[in-house]
Structure 1
């Protein structure tokens, strides 16, 4: 939890990251919001805890603008094309983030379904003043940039304006205002790896700092201040003074006096608004029982007065006059008034006609903040039966609004909308039933709708998964019959086959929404028995990837095929490699006709076969005919045409074998390693396997290998691993998967890889294969701070005029330095202007330990292959 803030309504606000919360308040109310971040609030004494907004990822600090709007900056999840978000949070809103989206990466809802900074502060109007008055300040860690910007109203929300960087070079995190009007923020300094250093900075904008607020703000609440003076301070230019004054007036019980200020159209606008908030404290605390005198505020000419009055009156005890006055606000033109009216009516409850909420349903639906307010109102004022009746009788946006309100109510009646004619209604109902905690009582209805004609894709995907979750014979039949009824290549057909492959034991992390789930054991034999009744039909599937999946099903659930069919599939060079691979695995279970199978395996292991087929064949040969397998393994290892993955697999099959021939072959490979005659791509595999040996002779040979070379030995990446083992033999595809998906390494949090989009914290790797050798890439992965390749480190240059710059030295000579700042801008700096420089450091942690040596090798293979071709210019193309 972080970012405590005193709100203008007198409550304490703070945020929590996306591990979520499960809280019981002191009043006994339960708050369960797993897998998501939230903004929370309570009274200063801890009473009335509540979740203000949720579905955010990790807002470090929120800020309130002059009208009490809650603004924050949400960290992104380090996915390609995703950015940090400036968020405007409304009470009760769900911004959609769930922490499992982090782990699912590109397969998650966040990116595929378009659901989609650190310290944050708002200048209160009397602190920095000058050009920065009324600005928001955003500290971008770890870029070391402090940005300032303003917000301007736009439709039902805001747009960012006047964005500019006002400081760079300090890795600021938490920020706060001092009573004297100066800003303070913590400095992380070295970043990662942690160096035990830090600082607190203070800044102002001389000579604009006005210290007239300091005397008032420094007084504790125990010091009495005359009521008349406090009423005058409600219009003070400093937001902090206004809030402080309203809290003091609430403690004095001056609610009638504040209401008088609020109702006075001649009073300053901020005085009226803070008077409303102060009056609202009395309403909220039950000190103002009758709010009738305040209802005229809802007809005020100032729309901001109406918005704030709606907020505070939402916590009053409902009566007919209050309900009617609030209801009138739904008819206003101002979108923020309509939004808040919806939220207020939803909190009050009572009966309000559905039609009063909607002006232009299609237009209203496209405005997210207005939509939230209206849905909140509908959910709080309509019965589930009434909402269902409206959704079923309509086909347009009104049906969607009714559906969203049912979702807010978590109504099981949503299962009755899964056959609706509007695909948006169906998709939203399916999401609500399926995702997160969902609506379990409607899960069967969702499963049964799978395969219905015209079912929209997102609903169909969840219906498919609902059958996997259901896990009984009816669900299995439903999936099988749908698969068999579809033509080859139908969307979701391969996904449905994959569901069958895990039907006996679904993964702990859900395939669609990523939530952790536990399942009771399922009967694998019974699943196989049912699959067997569909076996002939499944084998009629011809598309290669789908057919391979069918054969994989047969392997897993121990089905069978006629021997001649299997043999033909395994030996046919024209058959897709995936199909041949699964055919070999089915053959491997056969106990009879061993000689024929051995012959087929030898053929499949020969040259001209795909690598995965050769590897599987040799692996099976070791179980049936070790002599033939050993001969084939030697043949592959000695072949000049065999691919490195095939040779690596031959080393792998030796693991755990203690027969004389296997040990002899391993010894020969180690001898080649020592003599430096072994394929470079095999060095790590042979070395790792030999280190597991208990043979003293093998250990001596490895010691000789490590101490070969100049200056008494190989250059070591760790006490056990030489660097040369990490540079060759990797799999680029696996390396790409590690770069994009390894949770601990989290490479794309800092690097752009195959495009110019993404994080700018670290250098772009798009052309690293052209810029760096494999040795340099391996060194950057293992020891990022030991020897930083120029342009990759983050350092600080302090100029003689006091300016501090943070970034990377791209090139330099005796006269100048080409310096790339963290904002991506490059400038040439004369050496004569530089007062001091810090050595460059890397914010990247050492990867060896996070990744295995084999994974490091894969990443090197991928990165070294990033050599995009230079696009020829137009004139060259025209000449051709």
Structure 2
């Protein structure tokens, strides 16, 4: 690639700026433009005690870095994403040459990059999300490919390009394929977000997992995002976990523990850190059906983050640590000694929303962990968006900064900036020598390096020759914990028979080595697993027994079943990590393993620990146990709900019959049990069982007003319950439940009753009361009733205006209004009211045409100043809150105010800078938050529903519609589903706001 003189002048200026002392200023006194300047970058930074931060590189040397790696020579490799989501960021020009992989180098050792090489650039590289440099191979994750580059001639440019994997989906999407990392077991670890739907080899064939299943997210068995592991050549791919949303990066420590962060549905305070139990389900959607976390279910948690990750469901792995609001990105595990002790042997994590880089010190908690948070680096500059962290050979941290006003939602405020920072006790020196891997001391130092590439190269060399055994033996006998763990992995892999090393690990006092011993057995001597586990049944460590339980997953012999029962006997009834490990270990042979447990427990089969085990088991034998526990007159309501929810995860054989047998019990909780039973019975079973329907009808009067009562009315189309449905609509505080009730009411004959009420009204006030009562309801029959009433001329303006507003609340009504405006049937203020609704229609044709129907006096917009000028204007927070209440609260929530339709804005000030807030309001389709993409669902009955998918199963789709309404649509009724290319958010809001109102609104939002 050729560069102009101006580029080199810019680099020279950057180098000068980095080396020259900048007079300190008060960062708070800088204007927005000054805060963006490189000269003030470090003034915004706060760093942990004992550490310094320096600017290693910045624009124009590097722009939009998404992921980094540091090689054995200390050079920083960077994925750039200048072409990221250009259809949503059309103010930026496309770089036709494609995105780039850069190599940045500090040639004079002063801690600042002064040389840049373009390792690779090509149109096939589109917004790459991951890079790993391991020896002579460079692994680049850029959906739909994971490519492996090789530099054969040493000029630091790619000569050979090969494809390791192909993804189905994920192209140009930050929920795509993420980076590789090297584990101490010699294997590669990687993950992908939930925009990837399958993994294939380079010939396009689906990769098969360890069980022979195609790796696909169709629910058979996997859902959503995944964590995986494979050999260095891409063979033997294993799925380590699934049902994530968007895990950005994996980190593996010396003992083989796998750590990961995951993102929530934006605004729901559910971002978190995971410790991976292998083969686990991590709860983003319903494991069995794929339904979204908002879908009503028995026993869900009142706390949104807990509900979000299905933590009350058997089979959902516990969350290690909730970070609540956030935007989690890069992750590393620090095994160096340069940083202060508090950060050693801990996760180091980038949190882009909070403008922080953190460590998460973990503490053992039973079979799992708890974690605290320590800030390493924080910026007062809201544009600081740390995207990744990597460890250099000297133990310092290199941190990439996407540097942008926004984070998430596929939006960019800037495509020309980006920074790389370095954190160390002293940052004025950065000189990494060439490692001498031919020298014993050099090889040992490289093997113990916290740097991935150096560790990889040393591992490969130590693995290759027998002469290296002396080094490894010395480390195993005399090294620190990390050295001993790393050397043990390699010694066992090299040994013709690893049994001696496995036994040595199992006899260690430190439980981490005993866990490692089990992992070595699984990898190198699986035929010895039952022998090894028999040695550990009574181990005092829950973590060791956890690992032993998981290791029994694929054995399925009577001996394995007895061992599992022995491990289950040691469960204390409280440790959820241990319980889920038992479940993972038994899921492939649940009936066999449970039978051994039953025989082992005897009269203790009803203690709390045993009840929890039966709750978690996926066996037919556990179905009767749930019924037995529910029938206990001393069962609590919370436990009864848990046991009923567990039926959802049990095999189908005998399940519905057992649930039906729980109806009409003589029990202190009879009403609740009847309710839960109605909810738990499958609709298909109920439809063909008339005797059961008759029993249920007798129970309904006592259950009125409950979600379970509503389910029964829906399943059996009980028109006689219309008055009760209407009462439920009026009386319940649960808006989602009220919407379900009123839609059921309309479908069963309520539309005719509304028409009769309107026609029998004696005056306008009574007519307006009818419209106000049902105007927000998005039911196709009702909406068409409003349109028929509007077409009649004998009504007053207030009544007609109310009908226009009722029609303007949804897709079908807006199109009916559009037809009438085009045909000239609406004039004057009625036309203006209709057009304002059309301006927020999700149909791009309607939305684009709407302003043409307004005269200049009918709008408030005018020509706004550029965003750069708007940012400098001061607004009034109190007035902005009023604007939010009047305009935005119909779709968004802040705290307890508003409607849960669009993203929750309670933390939006930390996520978007002022410029990004203006762009989000003025150009909503430029960045659509993932998970809020719009869809049109057309039904065979002629209905059209629009919204975003809140949940999706094989039987139905749940749309979240305007007004915070959840609409459940049976797939049998659907004639078509179309994705929308425009945002669901109202465009042209400036047409209904004064300029100062817009400024006030942004002032209010930016302070949240």
Q: Would you call these one fold, judging by a TM-score over 0.5? A: yes
Alignment match, 1:329: 536
Alignment match, 1:829: none
In structure 2, how many angstroms separate the alpha carbons of the residues matched to 1:369 and 1:306?
Answer: 18
Alpha-carbon spacing, 1:481–1:269, altered in 2? closer, same or farther (3 Å): same
Which protein has the bigger helix share?
A: 1
Alpha-carbon spacing, 1:630–1:36, altered in 2? closer, same or farther (3 Å): same
Alignment match, 1:68: 256
Alignment match, 1:307: 515
Alignment match, 1:163: 374
Alpha-carbon spacing, 1:737–1:469, altered in 2? closer, same or farther (3 Å): farther
In structure 2, how many angstroms separate the alpha carbons of the residues matched to 1:18 and 1:700?
Answer: 37
Rg: which structure is higher? 1
* Contact in 1 for aligned 2:783/2:807 (Cα 8 Å): no
Secondary structure at the aligned position of 1:420 is classed as: helix
In structure 2, how many angstroms separate the alpha carbons of the residues matched to 1:335 and 1:401?
Answer: 17
Question: How big is each residue's C-alpha offset from its partner over 1:505-530, in whole Å with a ceiling of 9 and x where there is no partner?
Answer: xxxxxxxxxxxxxxxxxxxxxx76xx
- Which of 186, 193, 200 pairs up with 1:10? 186
Alpha-carbon spacing, 1:741–1:378, altered in 2? closer, same or farther (3 Å): farther
In structure 1, how many angstroms separate the alpha carbons of the residues matched to 2:888 and 2:227?
Answer: 42
Q: CA deviation at 1:7?
A: 0.6
Secondary structure at the aligned position of 2:530 is classed as: helix
Residue 851 of structure 1 pairs with residue 985 of structure 2: yes
Alpha-carbon spacing, 1:231–1:636, altered in 2? closer, same or farther (3 Å): closer
Residue 666 of structure 1 pairs with residue 826 of structure 2: yes
Q: Higher relative CO (CA 8 A, sep ≥ 6), structure 1 or 2?
A: 2
Q: CA deviation at 1:85?
A: 1.2
Residue 747 of structure 1 pairs with residue 935 of structure 2: no
In structure 2, how many angstroms separate the alpha carbons of the residues matched to 1:733 and 1:225?
Answer: 68
Q: CA deviation at 1:331?
A: 1.8
CA root-mean-square deviation:
6.0
Alpha-carbon spacing, 1:452–1:230, altered in 2? closer, same or farther (3 Å): farther
Q: CA deviation at 1:669?
A: 4.2
Q: CA deviation at 1:291?
A: 1.9
Alpha-carbon spacing, 1:3–1:687, altered in 2? closer, same or farther (3 Å): closer
Secondary structure at the aligned position of 1:276 is classed as: helix
In structure 2, how many angstroms separate the alpha carbons of the residues matched to 1:664 and 1:317?
Answer: 80
Alpha-carbon spacing, 1:145–1:468, altered in 2? closer, same or farther (3 Å): same
Superposed, which structure 2 residues align to 1:347-746 within 5 Å?
350-351=559-560, 352-353=562-563, 356-358=566-568, 361=571, 364-377=572-585, 382-387=592-597, 394-403=605-614, 406-407=617-618, 411-421=619-629, 431=645, 434=648, 439-441=651-653, 444-445=656-657, 448=660, 451=663, 453=665, 464=678, 467=681, 469-470=683-684, 473-474=687-688, 478=692, 481-482=695-696, 484-487=698-701, 490=704, 492=706, 494-498=707-711, 500-501=713-714, 503=715, 531=718, 535=720, 543=727, 545=729, 556-557=747-748, 583-585=753-755, 600=760, 606=766, 609-612=769-772, 629-634=792-797, 636=799, 645=805, 666-667=826-827, 669=829, 684=836, 705-706=855-856, 714-715=862-863, 734-736=890-892, 746=902
Residue 201 of structure 1 pairs with residue 429 of structure 2: no
In structure 1, how many angstroms separate the alpha carbons of the residues matched to 2:224 and 2:425?
Answer: 42
Q: CA deviation at 1:384?
A: 4.6
Residue 175 of structure 1 pairs with residue 309 of structure 2: no
Secondary structure at the aligned position of 1:34 is classed as: coil
Alignment match, 1:761: 910
Q: CA deviation at 1:118?
A: 0.5
Residue 84 of structure 1 pairs with residue 280 of structure 2: no
Alignment match, 2:212: 29
Normalised by the size of structure 2, how large is the TM-score?
0.54
* Contact in 1 for aligned 2:190/2:249 (Cα 8 Å): yes
Alignment match, 2:97: none
In structure 2, how many angstroms separate the alpha carbons of the residues matched to 1:604 and 1:468?
Answer: 46
Secondary structure at the aligned position of 1:315 is classed as: helix
Alignment match, 2:307: 111
In structure 2, how many angstroms separate the alpha carbons of the residues matched to 1:318 and 1:648?
Answer: 64
Alpha-carbon spacing, 1:326–1:483, altered in 2? closer, same or farther (3 Å): same
Residue 277 of structure 1 pairs with residue 426 of structure 2: no
In structure 1, how many angstroms separate the alpha carbons of the residues matched to 2:664 and 2:602?
Answer: 18
In structure 2, how many angstroms separate the alpha carbons of the residues matched to 1:204 and 1:450?
Answer: 62
Superposed, which structure 2 residues align to 1:193-232 within 5 Å?
193-199=412-418, 201-205=420-424, 207=426, 215-216=434-435
Which protein has the bigger strand share?
A: 2
Question: How big is each residue's C-alpha offset from its partner over 1:712-736, in whole Å with a ceiling of 9 and x where there is no partner?
Answer: x945899xxxxxxx98997887434
Question: How big is each residue's C-alpha offset from its partner over 1:519-578, in whole Å with a ceiling of 9 and x where there is no partner?
Answer: xxxxxxxx76xx57xx4x8778995649999997676356xxxxxxxxxxxxxxxxxxxx
Q: CA deviation at 1:379?
A: 5.3
Secondary structure at the aligned position of 1:54 is classed as: strand
Q: CA deviation at 1:654?
A: 12
Question: How big is each residue's C-alpha offset from its partner over 1:471-517, in whole Å with a ceiling of 9 and x where there is no partner?
Answer: 6633577467435424456563x44425644x4xxxxxxxxxxxxxx
In structure 1, how many angstroms separate the alpha carbons of the residues matched to 2:851 and 2:252?
Answer: 69
Question: How big is each residue's C-alpha offset from its partner over 1:136-175, in whole Å with a ceiling of 9 and x where there is no partner?
Answer: 3221114432224433434433343560242424322133
Alignment match, 1:782: 922
Secondary structure at the aligned position of 1:421 is classed as: helix
Q: CA deviation at 1:14?
A: 0.7
Alignment match, 2:282: 95
Alpha-carbon spacing, 1:6–1:583, altered in 2? closer, same or farther (3 Å): same
Alpha-carbon spacing, 1:290–1:214, altered in 2? closer, same or farther (3 Å): same
Alignment match, 1:50: 238
In structure 1, how many angstroms separate the alpha carbons of the residues matched to 2:194 and 2:671?
Answer: 28
Alignment match, 1:828: none
Alignment match, 1:121: 332
Which consecutive residues of structure 1, in runs of 5 or more, have no partner in the other structure? Answer: 504-526, 559-578, 588-596, 674-680, 719-725, 753-757, 766-776, 787-846, 869-880
* Contact in 1 for aligned 2:550/2:585 (Cα 8 Å): yes
* Contact in 2 for aligned 1:127/1:209 (Cα 8 Å): no
Question: How big is each residue's C-alpha offset from its partner over 1:425-475, in whole Å with a ceiling of 9 and x where there is no partner?
Answer: 87667556536xx74556644763573646899997775455454166335
Which consecutive residues of structure 2, in runs of 5 or more, have no partner in the other structure? Answer: 1-176, 200-205, 301-305, 313-318, 320-327, 732-737, 776-780, 867-881, 927-980
In structure 2, how many angstroms separate the alpha carbons of the residues matched to 1:598 and 1:207?
Answer: 78
In structure 1, how many angstroms separate the alpha carbons of the residues matched to 2:845 and 2:422?
Answer: 63
In structure 1, how many angstroms separate the alpha carbons of the residues matched to 2:922 and 2:909?
Answer: 21
* Contact in 1 for aligned 2:366/2:578 (Cα 8 Å): no
In structure 2, how many angstroms separate the alpha carbons of the residues matched to 1:866 and 1:292?
Answer: 66
In structure 1, how many angstroms separate the alpha carbons of the residues matched to 2:787 and 2:445?
Answer: 91
Alpha-carbon spacing, 1:145–1:479, altered in 2? closer, same or farther (3 Å): farther
Secondary structure at the aligned position of 1:189 is classed as: coil
Q: CA deviation at 1:102?
A: 9.3
Normalised by the size of structure 1, how large is the TM-score?
0.61
In structure 2, how many angstroms separate the alpha carbons of the residues matched to 1:692 and 1:12?
Answer: 45
Residue 141 of structure 1 pairs with residue 352 of structure 2: yes
* Contact in 2 for aligned 1:670/1:687 (Cα 8 Å): no
Alpha-carbon spacing, 1:239–1:137, altered in 2? closer, same or farther (3 Å): same
Alignment match, 1:512: none
Q: CA deviation at 1:10?
A: 0.9
